[in-house]
Structure 1
Amino acid sequence: MNKVVRITQTGGAEVMQIVDVPVGAPSAGEVLIKHKAVGLNYIDVYFRTGLYKQVLPAGLGMEGAGIVEAVGAGVTQFKVGDRVAYAGGPPGAYAERRIINASVLVKLPEFISFETAAAVMLQGLTVQYLFRRTFKVRPGQTILFHAAAGGVGLLACQWARALGVKMIGTVSNDNKGELAKANGCAHVINYVEEDFVTKVDEITQGKGVPVVYDSIGKDTFLRSLDCLSPLGMMVSFGSSSGAAPDFSLNELSSRGSLFITRPSLMHYTAERSELDLMAAELFAMLEAKKLTVNINQRYALDDVARAHQDLERRKTTGSSILLID
């Protein structure tokens, strides 16, 4: 039997149930993984609450790391005993074991622990595509990144510093601000006490920034547009405060012919070759110690409800994981 987290309805943290299900055998193209650690991300909350739709009953969790226990027909890249990690596929990582398509897996180098892999795959690959593909930041640029003390945010602080980019990060309190600075954020704005649009204007001497990375959504969306320089890009890649509001395209033209995009990691990793390249760059950054993963919260699988509550109440900093083994 296999302990997994299931939801039969959407709602609060209480809808998550831990149940035992049989462990099946992988079909063609699939792999059975025994998890060692699983990542906790805000996207998991979106699936639990129903903001992101899925057929119920369903699992939760988008990333994990562990050991291959069995492979299905046609799988040649992986073998039993391989250390692997992933970020993608349908939700279902909150489990002792799971069967998943081999196309989303990558082999895990020995220098990366299972805990680090579970914490960094989704968040690290997210920063990779945000900075290297969605809007390719360049040395000397000043950018705005919301939620700078979260898991994605702290990796973004470090990656921006490594690329010679000055990052303005917003945070909800001074302690988180100090954490963002310690990880390389050039300027920190406590948006609870300061107007971030005014502060960005001061920092950039009225020029604005070429790109805003916004995972907050409703509470920051329109104000983020006000931080952009003409021809700037708004990258809306999350909605922790709720979905971004509807708006008129005139909001873009009136602010200087702005661009806007709503990217998803799964589209960037859809091709195997792209996933391999992205993971290779992420692993190289970790090996060179240009990135350090801040795992500040660890939970047992049985404590998954408390973990979600901590995420939603913004009690967490850095990365959070579920320890399976």
Structure 2
Amino acid sequence: MPSAASGYAAHSAQTPLAPFSFERRDPGPRDVAIDILFCGVCHSDLHTARSEWDGTLFPCVPGHEIVGRVTAVGGEVADLSPGDTVGVGCMVDSCRTCASCRDGEEQYCEGTGFVGTYNGDDPVMGGHTLGGYSDRIVVDRDFVLRVRHDEADLAAVAPLLCAGITTYSPLRHWKVGPGHKVGVVGLGGLGHMGVKIARAMGAEVVAFTTSPGKRDDALRLGAHDVVVSKDAEQMAAQANSFDFILNTVAASHDLDRFMRLLKRDGTMTLVGVPATPHPSPAIGELVFRRRQLAGSLIGGIAETQEMLDFCREYGLTADVEVIAPDRINEAFDRMERGDVKYRFVIDMAPLRAG
């Protein structure tokens, strides 16, 4: 029988998130029941809760950067036990049979499309999935990650389940490493992880920001250099010098300014999704240097596990501000103003205490 859960939900695009009681399924044979310890706050959560993207299903319980403790497992789960520390990211299911799923790229599922941790079609309970702004969750074993970081780091691990994999996956796919000059555009929740991960991969890292005041922080995070992207002279000095640029900015902006910084055969990959389209890039910036403009979406489950293990090996976590669940609306407002360094994380202890 389903069991009670508590969380915070938006009941419409115009109302703040509020306490919400609902039901989670009991674990099936392949399921893992998890008490949620921490859940990161992603800008996607805000966009969805406020219906700034099409298709929000209400009531909406956001949250897809989950770290928790296993409380029960189904009879067919042999490799996890109660007490294990685990993570759940942006997906809780996919078709499992299409070419992308067979290749371990479930985020590009061509069958049903991946099932989001929230706001997706719930294949078991019916209705739609409800996410990590809650005290507990039940997830198919195939979509549960092992977390091997130290206990003291768990709050700062939570954003790795989205911000970490969103930046790790393109850096890994385009084989960033020693000898590469890499630019990271934007120094927010995604960008600060991009800087850390690219540096750990051995690249020369340049952070691009519109805020001169972020220079010291970018260097602290691991950038070798910082360029103020509004400064034409600083930008011109970087022309034709980058092997790869990771563009994390989710606002519409001029891509050509960054495309012309790429070497011949260089690639700029977009991971931010703006509410309105970017201005169309000039074809000449692509054609005359054989440059590539690409996109990337999170990562598959195997790659997400690889990312978590990589971050554990190199001592990487997100820079976070931990909040109580009842501060989520304040966090949304501050996040919209850019007033966070660099990720809010909800401590779910008050919800678990009832």
Does the alignment pair 1:194 with 2:240?
A: no
Asked if the contact 2:38–2:68 (Cα under 8 Å) also holds between the matched residues in 1, the reply is yes
- Confirm or deny: 8 A CA contact 2:7 2:133 kept in the other structure: yes
Give yes or no for the alignment of 1:4 onto 2:29: no
Cα distance change on mapping 1:223 and 1:52 into 2, 3 Å = farther
* Structure 1 residues 51 and 215, CA gap change in structure 2 (3 angstroms): farther
Q: 2:89 aligns with which of 87, 93, 96?
A: 87
- Corresponding residue number in structure 1 for 2:59: 57
* Rounded Cα–Cα distance in structure 2 between residues aligned with 1:55 and 1:169: 37
Structure 1: 5+ residue stretches without partners: none
3-state secondary structure, aligned to 1:132: helix
| Alpha-carbon contact 1:124-1:155 (below 8 Å) kept | yes
Q: Is the 8 A contact 1:128 1:282 kept in 2?
A: no
Which one of 107, 119, 128 corresponds to residue 168 of structure 2? 128
1:180 and 1:69, CA in 2 relative to 1: closer, same or farther beyond 3 A?
Answer: same
Alpha carbons of structure 1 residues 292 and 20: separation in structure 2 relative to 1, 3 Å = closer
Identify if the C-alpha distance between structure 1 residues 183 and 245 changes in structure 2 by more than 3 Å, giving closer, same or farther.
Answer: closer
- 1:216 and 1:238 in contact (8 A); partners too: yes
- Pair 1:190–1:315, CA change in 2 (3 A): farther
Matched, 1:278 2:307: yes
Match of 1:139 in 2: 178
Provide the rounded CA distance (Å) in 2 between the counterparts of 1:141 and 1:161: 10
Amino acid in the other structure paired with 2:224:
A
> How far does the alpha carbon of each residue in 1:133-164 deviate from its partner, in whole angstroms, 9 at most, with x for none?
2x21132322221123x233223323333333
Q: In 1, Cα distance between the equivalents of 2:179 and 2:260? A: 21
CA distance, structure 2, for counterparts of residue 166 and residue 201 of structure 1: 18
Query: For the residues of structure 2 that align with 1:222 and 1:22, how far apart are their CA atoms?
Result: 49
Alpha-carbon deviation of 1:81? 1.9
Once the two structures are superposed, what CA deviation does each residue of 1:5-45 show, in whole Å capped at 9, x if it has no partner? 2234346xx44332122444123422221111111122222
Letter in 2 for 1:95: S
State the SS of the aligned residue for 1:70: strand
Contact 2:191 2:248 in 1 (8 A): no
Q: Which of 76-85 and 49-58 deviates more? A: 49-58
CA distance in 1: counterparts of 2:43 and 2:16, whole angstroms:
16
Count of aligned pairs: 306
8 Å Cα contact 2:322/2:347 also seen in 1 = yes
Question: What displacement does 1:311 show?
Answer: 1.3
Matched, 1:234 2:268: yes
**Alignment of 1:313 onto 2:337:** yes
* Change in 2 beyond 3 A, CA 1:222/1:10: farther
* 206, 213, 236: which one aligns with 1:168: 206
Which residue identity is paired with 1:120?
L
Change over 3 Å in CA distance of 1:139–1:200 after alignment to 2: farther
Q: How does 1:267-306 map to 2 (within 5 A)?
A: 268-270=299-301, 273-286=302-315, 291-295=316-320, 297-306=321-330
Q: 1: CA distance between counterparts of 2:207 and 2:54?
A: 27
Q: Which runs of 5+ in 2 are unaligned?
A: 92-116, 119-130, 350-354
Letter in 2 for 1:27: G
Q: Give deviations 1:185-204, integer Å, cap 9, x for gaps.
A: 1221234x524xx42331x3
The whole-number CA distance in structure 2 between the counterparts of 1:248 and 1:151 is 25
Alignment partners' CA distance in 1, 2:286 and 2:210: 30
Shift of 1:50: 3.7
Structure 2 counterpart of 1:269, one-letter code: G
Q: Which of 185, 210, 216 matches 2:243?
A: 210
TM-score relative to the length of structure 1: 0.83
With normalisation by structure 2, the TM-score equals 0.77
| DSSP-derived class of the 1:257 partner | coil
2:47 match: secondary structure = helix
CA change 1:253–1:275 in 2 (3 A) is closer
Cα-Cα RMSD: 2.5
Distance 1:15 1:68 in 2: 30
Q: State the alpha-carbon separation in 2 of the partners of residues 31 and 249 from structure 1.
A: 49
Distance change in 2, residues 1:162/1:23 (3 Å) = closer
Alpha-carbon spacing, 1:243–1:251, altered in 2? closer, same or farther (3 Å): farther
CA contact 1:252–1:259 (8 Å) conserved in 2:
no
